[in-house]
Structure 1
Amino acid sequence: MSPLILKILGTIGKTLIEKVRKILNSRSLILFAYIFGSQVMGEATMRSDGDVAIYTSKSMSWKEIIEVQNQLEDNINRKVDLIYLNTAPLLLAYEVISKGKLILDRDPASRVEYEVKVLREFLDIRPRLEEYYRLVLHMES
């Protein structure tokens, strides 16, 4: 890709992040949020979806989560994969906090507590995951 195209995509990415941040900031239940995936990895294209993860102060219904997702999609004109960190599987939560970009941090203490919890749980199961993957790879060869 040419440097000009990369620069344009970078500008578009920053604009999208600001739009996402503004929408999420208008929802007081959302304590912190990340973007992750291709937008952060520098692999986004004009057709890439938006990967967004949120953590809320109290439980949201699936209807409320879909409303946030729809509001994001309507405002950034692309599909959004919205991850609800309050109930996200451990490996997905780890991926978000370790490789994502924090874009909203209304309650840093709650965020750090959540990140420590996820990291601790991930590190607890990591040896078993590595053993599992080693066995699977060994069986395939």
Structure 2
Amino acid sequence: MLNVDNKLPDLVSFFKARDDIVAVWIVGSYGTKYQTENSDIDLAILFSKEISFFDELDLEVQISDILQTDKVDIINLNKAPLTLQFKAISEGREVIKKDPIKVADFEEVVLDLYQDHEYFYRTFYKELRERNHHDSQYRL
């Protein structure tokens, strides 16, 4: 099973050296009871500025080299859906927080927006689960 905890200090050093990274969280199943052999490590990254898709890919390759695994996915929190932003800050495991003020500002915006939309998200996902359950009863 994937275990990169011993490489996290190298990863933190790498993130500290980059001016474009504000904070990083581990999200997803890695390091939880839900981790399996097929699990990867998902890193939710808050950037200080907009970065290109190719810069994101390059960053993912560099992180993969540090962790010595290709089971790495990065999530650009600046572009991620609100539900994923909320999940990262509420359930994620903090790897590094370089600028606490920027992180607090980001968290405040996400929490405010999420609270404004939470009822709609819960209703949508509840109806989706019910529909999927209903549809699965009629499949061959």
TM-score (normalised: structure 1): 0.80
Contact 2:4 2:67 survives alignment (8 Å): no
Q: What is residue 120 of structure 2 aligned with on the other side?
A: 128
The residue correspondences of 1:15-26 to structure 2 (distance < 5 A) are 15-26=6-17
State how many pairs are aligned.
132
User: Higher helix proportion, which one?
Assistant: 1
**In the TM superposition, what whole-angstrom CA distance separates every residue of 1:56-79 from its partner, at most 9, and x where no partner exists?**
111111111111100011121222
Residue number in structure 1 paired with 2:53 = 62
Aligned residue number for residue 93 of structure 2: 101
Does 1:39 pair with 2:37? no
Which residue of structure 1 lines up, in the alignment, with residue 110 of structure 2? 118
SS of the residue corresponding to residue 86 of structure 1 reads: coil
- Aligned equivalents of 1:39 and 1:136: distance in 2? 26
Q: What runs of 5+ residues in structure 2 fail to find an aligned partner?
A: 135-140
The percentage of aligned residue pairs carrying the same residue is 28
In the TM superposition, residue 47 of structure 1 has moved relative to its aligned partner by 5.3
Instruction: State the AA in 1 paired with 2:66.
Output: N
| RMSD value, Cα | 2.2
The residue type equivalent to 1:14 in the other structure is D
Determine the C-alpha separation between the residues in 2 that align with 1:135 and 1:62.
Answer: 34
Q: Deviations over 1:32-54 (max 9, x none)?
A: 11112223424445653211111
Q: 1:39 to 1:20 in 2, by over 3 A?
A: farther
Using the size of structure 2 for normalisation, the TM-score is: 0.81
Which runs of 5 or more residues in structure 1 are unaligned? none
Conserved 8 A contact 1:13-1:39: no
Distance apart, 1:82 and its partner CA: 0.3
What is the CA–CA distance in structure 2 between the aligned matches of 1:61 and 1:136, rounded to whole Å? 33
**2:65 & 2:23 partners in 1: Cα distance?**
21
